[in-house]
Structure 1
Amino acid sequence: MADVITCPTGLTGRVRGMKVREERILADRKLARSGGQMDELLGSCWEETLDPGPYSLSEGGKPDWGKVLQGDRFFALLMVRALTYGPGYAFGVGCRNDACRARIEWELDLTKLPVRQLSEGSRTAFIGGNRFETTLPDSGKQVRFRLLTGEDERKLPALQRAAPDRILSAVLAYRVLDIDGVDAKAKRQFLEDLTLRDADFLVDEFDRVDCGVDTTIEVECPECFTVQDVDLPFDRGFFLPGKERTARRRDRSASSLR
């Protein structure tokens, strides 16, 4: 089954659900270590490009997924999952209320998640070199930064592991291109010395000019009625829901014994 999807930047194409052969991609440890699984999966399930959006196409008329913005990549992956198993996605989380700690079973429609489109201004800046500018409120410094692509997705986990006690400054340093009046060698130290107000402002600016899917979901505990925000679980199990299959088999077995 294939369908036409339009990503947040306007990238449009014909996409199909996963086949049995795609399971090899998700089970490939070498691809997992290199961070290339999602690129391979997208490349396999993307059948035809109808509108390249802000991107140059690779050989064969397909996007170079390493150069595609995170927001487009994630949206396309959600649609691949929805085309494979249907739009419904069920998951479980624990209640954060210490007096409860019940298991919350939740289900949502992946095609109904809020999507932020890339603005015309951001599209122009991305095509013009992926260079954005803002002014920090406390320091008054002008900062240039970039949006993250698939190639960056591969590098960020290693970057965060290398500086587990300085994740925020490491990510800021990776995304910030340059700062007015600050030498390139002093950029990391300048970002370490930012006020938290400036740091929060900068992260908000990243989000403001970017595109993507809002994956923060509000769930309510059925036992104590506590409402909490959770991030959509996104791992290998998202594409190979073996636990759901096991649960269905268990339910069928239980029914046959009645």
Structure 2
Amino acid sequence: SALPLTLAGLSVAVYSACDRLIVAYLLGKDAAGIFGVAADLPRQFMVMIASSVAAATVPLVFRSLSENNGETTRERLTESLELLLVVVAPVAVWLALAADQVAGTLVGIDFRAGVSALLPTLVLARFFGIANQFYVQISFQLAERPFMLATQSFLTLVISVILMFALIGGYGLYGAALATLATEAIGFLVALVLMHRAHPVPFELNRLAGVAASAAAMAAAILIARSQVGGTGLVPLVIVSLAGGLAYAAAAWLLNVANVRTLSLRFLRTLNRKALGV
């Protein structure tokens, strides 16, 4: 039925707009401007990348399900989550830990201080949202249970409105960021609970440990680079970003995250054979 999907889509659309409307209502349009920019940065960077990965991997999941191959479906789901986190995790770490440099370069001077203070919390919120939207919610589609998607989306909207009014009063603009984080985390937990009544999706922790270790290496590199580089202009942003990116790539290669080492070595061997004319 199209009705539950329509309700889910409507809930998501209202949810994505109502947070800044509530901030504007309670704190004024200047605060809403700062919150809007801080919320849009992780949405534009992280969600855009996540949707590209999902577009490439999710159809393979449905194809294996249509062939009634449970083991292949499980493997495709695991690969989908691993690839999703491999590309989203470094962007999340970069936005959260290089917030001063990112805001100092990409954001207008009036918004910089507010945006860099809110970014880490909103990045973590968006991370929960991506795991929910682009992985856990696949469960409802695989089980053909659209009412579960509608229920989860509507609950998230209601929780958001309640928490926004509750936390902005006591904590101001940072309360809005905390409300967003709490909403996304609760929404993710609700989806996990509902998932067990639909088509449970796997979480292979040993496969995800490599992503976590690579992200930790990147975080350490960014923090070290940040402590050595002064200022928040373009040059500090490039230095901090390169340090973090190289550390992440090196760790991911050493740990063979998402088979990156295996595939890169295979590619190099193929190039080498072509160069030698074999």
More strand by share: 1
Flag whether TM exceeds 0.5 (same fold): no
TM-score, normalization by structure 2? 0.23
By percentage of residues, which structure has more helix? Answer: 2
